Amino acid sequence: MKSAYGKNELSRFISNRYGESINLTPITEGMESQVFSFTHDNKEFVLRINPVIEGFRKDEYAYRHFSSSKIPIPKIIEYGTYSSKHAFCISEKASGITLQDADGATVNALLPDIADLWRSIGDVDISDTAGYGIFSATDGNAPFHTWQDYLFSIFDQRRYDWEKVKANKNVDAELVDNLKSTFLSLIKYCSEDRKLKHGDFGSNNVLIDEHIPKINAIIDWDNASYGDPFYDIAGAYFWRTWLMCMEK
| CB distance 49 to 10 below 8 Å | yes
Closest CA to 72 of 116, 103, 29: 116
Tell me, rounded to whole angstroms, the distance of Cα 142 from its chain centroid: 17
Tell me, rounded to whole angstroms, the distance of Cα 147 from its chain centroid: 20
E-assigned strands of the chain?
25-26, 34-40, 43-50, 76-81, 87-92, 97-98, 133-134, 195-197, 206-209, 214-218, 225-227
DSSP class of residue 74? P
Q: Is-catalytic flag, 161?
A: no
Beta bridge partners, 78, equal 90
| CB distance 97 to 208 below 8 Å | yes
What distance separates the 2 farthest-apart alpha carbons in the chain?
Answer: 59
**Residue 58: which residues within 8 A CB-CB, separation 6 or more?**
137, 221, 222, 224
Give 201's Cβ-side CA count (13 Å radius).
25
Q: Which of the following is catalytic: 113, 156, 200, 220? A: 200
- Euclidean distance between CA atoms 193 and 228, whole angstroms: 5
Residue type, 165: V
| Positions marked catalytic | 200
